[in-house]
Amino acid sequence: MELEAVIGLEIHAQLSTKSKLWCGCDNDAFGAEPNTRVCPVCMGFPGMLPVLNSEGIDKSVRGAAALGCKIQKFSKFDRKNYFYPDLPNGFQISQYDQPISKNGKVEISVEGKKRMIGITRVHLENDAGKLTHTKSGTLCDYNRSGTPLIEIVTEPDLRSPQEAQVFAKEIQKILRFVRTSDADMEKGMMRFDASISLRPKGEKKLYPRSEIKNLNSFASLLKALQYEIKRQKKLWEKKTPPEKEATVGWIDDEEKTVVMRDKEAAHDYRYFPEPDLPPVTFSEEEIQKIEEGIPELPLSKFHRYKTDYKLSEAEALKLSEREELAEFFETSVKLSDEPKKSANLILSVLLSRDDWYRGFVTPQHVADVIDLLGNGKISSSGAKEILNTAMEEKNKGKSAKELMLDLGLEQVSDTGELEEWVDRVISENPASVEDYKNGKEKALQFLMGQVMKVSGGAANPPVVLEMLKKRLSEK
């Protein structure tokens, strides 16, 4: 019997807001001393009241709209009750039956094939604190408590661990693109729970799934799903497929899953409406404005760069990944009308430095360098040197042309001056001229070198070469 995997994801992403979701505490606590970014609200002290951070709403609806979701005119918050040391209130404020957005879809491209993955909902909630288990006990750090999160829930549309991984990476790109989340996996800003079940291929029915909790990297998402498929496959082969839903944990070091408990159902959390927060409402016009504000997304750019600009797959992928890079590239294309050359310079020169995007080198520099190259004013190594120099802070505001002159990179293409040099070299080297006429190609290289020497390196090599050949054929 051939089995197929049915996979759905829940993705938690921290929003890149200045302050936390219900209080004014600094939301950027990475690397800070434990429990130094806290206040009575995010510590869950009795009698404290949450106040909704409007930036949290803005970023969440922008992210949701970018995932194709419909922003809801009315949404509300609910308390999700459970006891755990990382949750000082004893409840999380989340959204249960009326989330902020629903019904989205995200396109992914897996090995050249297009797939549409449905998004059930995106809702807003707060993060919990962080626990560190040591030999002597468990340490609690509440700096993260109250950080705004969106939870993205997909339909069970994914069919392989690889698809799930590609999808998760696409979500990361989109959230970064619309500045909803920095989605830095290493800082725990994006985490996954993955649900997976198997079924005989061709069946539509869904079988009891296991939910793998807290996957913190793209690699563990892939490995955990691969492992769980193998585990469930064995059960199917023994004719004892999973009978009930289970929560399983992924042990990174051992690369295996362990069944922890039966999966929680909604009633285990005793949800009820959050009494201390008003609902969130949007008018039709406001929703429209949010939707119109969503820029062209990475995958669409990727396709466009390939078809319209004739970039290679790798070039298009790299340039469409981050908003600032895509914008830089597109502006250089607008200014130069040379997509391929712009891509080449940006990828090979600019991106070889991590600090390229500090605003010193501009799309205008790239366009000007392409222009100078085209006019034979500079060589390709000169182009590299100009762009590298433009990335230095001390050269801020200097144009490509100014840098060319500063660096003495201007090549002489003026035929009058070049002719003089060429003639001089020909008359001073009769032996080499003779050799060339007798078919020794190497002699041409020698003469060429002489002209460059006479010019002090300023002659434009391709122009010199043409001129030399012409002159030699005349004599």
Closer to Zn ion at the Cβ: 123 or 144? 144
Q: Using an 8 Å Cβ cutoff, are 72 and 99 in contact?
A: yes
The one segment of 38-46, 120-128, 201-209, 413-421 that binds Zn ion by CB under 5 A: 38-46
Q: Using an 8 Å Cβ cutoff, are 113 and 120 in contact?
A: no
- Shortest reach from residue 42's CB to Zn ion, in Å: 3
The one segment of 32-40, 211-219, 354-362, 444-452 that binds Zn ion by CB under 5 A: 32-40
- Shortest reach from residue 117's CB to Zn ion, in Å: 35
Closer to Zn ion at the Cβ: 79 or 341? 79
- Shortest reach from residue 48's CB to Zn ion, in Å: 9
Conformational region of residue 332, where left means phi above 0, alpha means psi within -120 to 50, and beta covers everything else: alpha
- Shortest reach from residue 269's CB to Zn ion, in Å: 23
Closer to Zn ion at the Cβ: 43 or 260? 43
- Shortest reach from residue 39's CB to Zn ion, in Å: 3
Q: C-alpha angle with apex 160: 155 to 164, nearest 5 degrees?
A: 60
- Shortest reach from residue 265's CB to Zn ion, in Å: 31
Closer to Zn ion at the Cβ: 274 or 330? 274
**Which element (helix H / strand E) includes 106?**
strand 101-110
| Helical spans, DSSP H, in 241-362 | 284-292, 298-307, 313-320, 323-336, 339-348
Cβ within 8 Å of residue 175, ≥6 positions away: 13, 63, 66, 181, 183, 190
Closer to Zn ion at the Cβ: 22 or 360? 22
> Could you give the CA distance from residue 352 to residue 346 in angstroms, rounded to a whole number?
9
Tokens 């001056």 sit at which residue?
A: 417
| The only residue of 7, 42, 93, 198 in contact with Zn ion, by rule CB under 5 A | 42
7 touches Zn ion by CB under 5 A: no
- Shortest reach from residue 146's CB to Zn ion, in Å: 5
Site residues (CB under 5 A) for Zn ion, limited to 11-30 = 23, 25
Computed on alpha carbons and rounded to an integer, the radius of gyration of the chain in Å comes to 31
- Shortest reach from residue 128's CB to Zn ion, in Å: 13
* Nearest by Cα to 207 from 198, 216, 219: 198
> Could you give the CA distance from residue 290 to residue 283 in angstroms, rounded to a whole number?
11
> Could you give the CA distance from residue 353 to residue 388 in angstroms, rounded to a whole number?
9
Burial per residue of 258-297, b for 16 or more beta-carbon CB atoms within 10 angstroms, e otherwise:
eeeeebeeeeebebeebeebeebebeeeebeebbeebeeb
Closer to Zn ion at the Cβ: 34 or 249? 34
> Could you give the CA distance from residue 79 to residue 266 in angstroms, rounded to a whole number?
12
Q: Using an 8 Å Cβ cutoff, are 105 and 122 in contact?
A: no
Site residues (CB under 5 A) for Zn ion, limited to 215-244 = none
| The only residue of 10, 28, 35, 39 in contact with Zn ion, by rule CB under 5 A | 39
Closer to Zn ion at the Cβ: 16 or 154? 16
x/- track of binding to Zn ion for residues 47-86 (CB under 5 A): ----------------------------------------
The one segment of 40-48, 200-208, 394-402, 421-429 that binds Zn ion by CB under 5 A: 40-48
* Contacting residues toward Zn ion, per CB under 5 A: 23, 25, 39, 41-42
